[in-house]
Every structure is written in C-alpha cells, then in structure tokens.
Amino acid sequence: MLLENIKLSELQSIYLLEKEKLPNCPAIYFVSDSKGQILYIGRTVNLFERWRQHHRFQQLKRFNRKNPVSISWITCSNDLNTLSKLENELIKLHKPPLNWTKVVALIRKITPVETALQQSLQQLAKLNTMIFGFDPILDEEPPTIYLVYPVYGQRGVSGGIRMALKNINKKASGLKWKEYQTNPKFSGKFGYWETEYNGIRIDLAPVQGLVHFMSDSTRRTVAGVEFMAFSREQLETVLENTPERKENISGVDALEDDPIPIKLVDKNHLGEGNYKGIAEVEPWEELEPMPEGDVRVMTRQFLYVDNVEVEVCTSENGKHFVRYNVYWWIIYGQKNSNLGHDGIVSHLQNAVNRLPSIRWFGYKFRLETILFSEDDVEVESILLPLAMFEDLMRDKSSFSGKLLEEIESGEYKSKPEDHAQKKLCVWLQRNSVSSLLKLDNSNS
C-alpha cells in the first residue's frame, strides 16, 4: 500500500459523537475536520475499546462544536510492531497538529501549516534574516532554502529568533521548527534551526558580518513573505572566499523564484483604512498579569542607537520590553511623563492602530510594578514588547517630501542635531534593537 495514495474520503468513517458505532478491530485511525484536514493519527488493536475513553475525546469535542469531526480508519494486522511502524510513517507524512501537542494543553484552534509557516517567516524577516540561497538538487536531502541571520561577535538576534520560533511551535499546527545545533555559550550560543514544508527544507543559521551585505541586497520571497536576499554576485563572492562553505552546499544558487508559491493571507474583513489588505498574523503574546500585590522581577540593559539611549527590560522567561516612559522621552523629549495628565494610554492605542500590522490590534496596556534585580530598584510602568517599540519607532507618517524619500531609500544619513525619533526611525529601517542585546541578558 502506498501511504501517499490513502484518501480519507474513501475510508470507512463515522462522526466523532457516534464513536460507539466503531468496530472491534485493529486499525490505524485518522481524526479529521469537515475540510478534510487530518488533526490526529493513532493506532490500536481494538478500535472500539480505544475510543471508549480516548484521551483526546474532550479536546476534540470542543472542535466539533464549530467544525464537525470524523473518525476514519484502515483495518490492519494486530501485530504491534507493524501498527507502530505504519502509524509513525503516516504521522511523518501528514504531520497532524494534535500529535505534536500535549493533551493537557488548552487548544482553541488549529493553525493551518501554511499560516504557521508565513507567521514564522514574517517574524524572521523582521529580525533582519536574509535569504542566502536555494539548493534544488534532489539527492539524499530534500531541496533546501538557506536563510541566515546576523550576529556580531557574541551578540545577535538569536534570543529573539528562539522566542519567535518557540511561540510558533506552541501552536497546534503541523509545522514545527527544530533547533538542530546550538553553539556553546562562550561562542555566542547561537541556534541553527530547520523545518520542512511540502518536501522543501528551510535551514536557518547565524552568520557573522551579515550587515555588510544588507545595503546591496536584493528582495525575494519565500512562501509569499518578502526578505532581503543575497544577489548572485554576492553569493559567488562569499562561496569563493569560504571554500568550506562552498563544499558543504555545493549546489546552492541565488534564489530567483519563490520555491513555495503560496499566497500571503490577507485580512480583508477588518474594514477600510489601514487594515485593508494587511497580512494576517497572530496577536502578540502578552505577559501574564501579575497577582495583585506582586512585582515583576526583570533585568535591564542600556543600549545606544546612534547616540540615543534605549533601556531594554528582560523578563525572567527571556521576553524583551521597553518601558512607556522611554518611548515618551524619545517621541516628546519629556522624561517625567504623567499617565493620566498626558493621556499616554490613549496615545499608545492610537499609535499602534497606525502600525502596518494587525498583530497589535486590541493589545492591552497594563500598569504594573517592576523590580530590577541588579540594583533592587522598584518602578511602576507600562511595558511595550520590544518588537512593538521598534514598529512604533519605524513609523514614518510624521515625515514627508524629500526627507521621506531619502529615509525609505536608505539614502538619508542622520545628523548629530536630529531628533531622537528621527535617528531611531532611520536606523531601524535596516536594523533591529534585538541585534544589540548582550547575550547574558537575552536568555538566548
């Protein structure tokens, strides 16, 4: 039997709530929704007994309320080794999302593989990841897209990438990123990642000095998501100067056409204005509210971007934030802002509604007490995710004319007398604050 030729529509099946009609037989079973998406694959020597008290039943009942769930099956030998081998091969082939999740996890929805792929690639693109090249040669390995992200000595965006990809992995989806190698701590602890979609492998690796290639890079897409990409001339130069890299990926060439030609999902039902036609991404994951009377313990570091000081706070689980007063000082030059008098919360809500992304839609701004562990300083503040702060700083709506054209083209060079907001906006067009974070505080 060719596993690829199994068609759910041709198998015996019943609806989930009719499970008492299942036969007493050894089987491989498939749980799927009304669209034919396989949610779970399992094996059993007795199908009826297995579903009398199946550990996924209550979880699947929740899905069944909005999207009817069915159980299909193939009758098989009752040999456990045969069943186990067939089950593993089918799971590897179909990548059912619930096989990757814990039973105790509360799952509100299944994320399609294509959506999870695009969401992860969007996050990587925001962290200055570049397309190095594509190796289409079919050998023992599948065709591979090589992505690279910037590091500087022992600093880099590895922590931000690890957090973004782990958040994707938490979703109930058939797409999973694997960290297949991690550099030792003394050399930066940078991660090497891989995933696979539709027979194409995506490899993500750290590269020193990548920033020198960004200004002359071209633009290409992977799964509809746009990245900076190595031109053919850049790629040839790198491979000639690094023979060991050329030997390891001898078939790689500059990427021209998108190897995963799927359309970027649009969010057209949010109405007119700034939300029309914007790529759909998940809302940003907020920190859990602290119990009343508790403080949030954080560390902080001070970074200097074109002589502008930016304080970045890091939570105990490695998430990075900027306090609202830092944002207010950069925008208005006011260090002692007043939450109520200055209307800061309403200002922040209006500001994020102008961002070219819907992931901040409905974000809650909470005032909480923060304790900085290094110096035992306690403050009250609103925390903005570092990526939100960067999105706010990249906003060019206050610029126009020739200045706007120069900023967008990368031709504008900031001047010492420029306002802090303009300096940050210019710098962030091609960079990320995450790349400046010190390793010891990044939990990467």
Tell me the DSSP string of 377-402.
EEEEEEEEEHHHHHHHHH--TT--HH
Edge-first strand order for the sheet with 70-75 is 12-15, 70-75, 27-32, 38-44
Q: What is the mean pLDDT of residues 249-261?
A: 86
Per-residue model confidence (pLDDT) at position 159: 78
pLDDT recorded at residue 72: 95
Amino acid 281: pLDDT: 37
pLDDT of residue 437: 83
Say what the pLDDT of residue 174 is: 86
CA diameter of the chain = 80
Pairing label, strands 38-44, 130-135: unpaired
Output the pLDDT for position 280. Answer: 36
Task: Look at residue 4 in the predicted model and tell me its pLDDT.
Answer: 67
Say if residue 258's pLDDT is above 70.
yes
DSSP label of 142: P
Please determine, for residue 279, whether its predicted confidence score (pLDDT) is greater than 70.
no
pLDDT tops 90 at residue 361: no
pLDDT for 443 beyond 50:
no
Alpha carbon distances (Å) from 403 to 66, 129, 408 = 51, 27, 9
* CA–CA dist 148, 203 (Å, integer): 8
Hey, which residues does 226 pair with through a beta bridge?
221
Q: What is the per-residue pLDDT for 269?
A: 31
Which pLDDT score is estimated for 374? Answer: 82
Dist CA 129 CA 193 (whole Å): 13
Indicate if the pLDDT at residue 373 is higher than 90. Answer: no
- With tokens 């991690």, the residue in question is 182
Q: What is the mean pLDDT of residues 145-170?
A: 84
Q: Are 338 and 380 in contact (CB under 8 A)?
A: no
pLDDT at residue 271 greater than cutoff 90: no
Given this model, what pLDDT does residue 73 score? 95
- Other CB atoms within a 10 A radius of the CB of residue 38 amount to 21
User: Among 117-121, 151-155, 246-250, 388-392, which stretch is predicted with the lowest mean pLDDT?
Assistant: 246-250
At residue 102, does pLDDT exceed 50? Answer: yes
CA angle 351, 357, 359 (to 5 degrees): 90
Higher pLDDT, 290 or 366: 366
State which amino acid sits at residue 365.
F
Q: How many secondary structure helices (H) and strands (E) does the chain include? A: 14, 19
Q: Within 10 A of 84 (CB to CB), how many other CB atoms are there? A: 11
At 282, is the pLDDT very low, low, confident or very high (cuts 50, 70, 90)? very low
Strand ranges for 153-295 from DSSP E:
155-156, 178-182, 191-197, 200-208, 218-222, 225-229, 266-267, 278-279
Question: Rounded distance, CA 272 to CA 365, Å?
Answer: 25
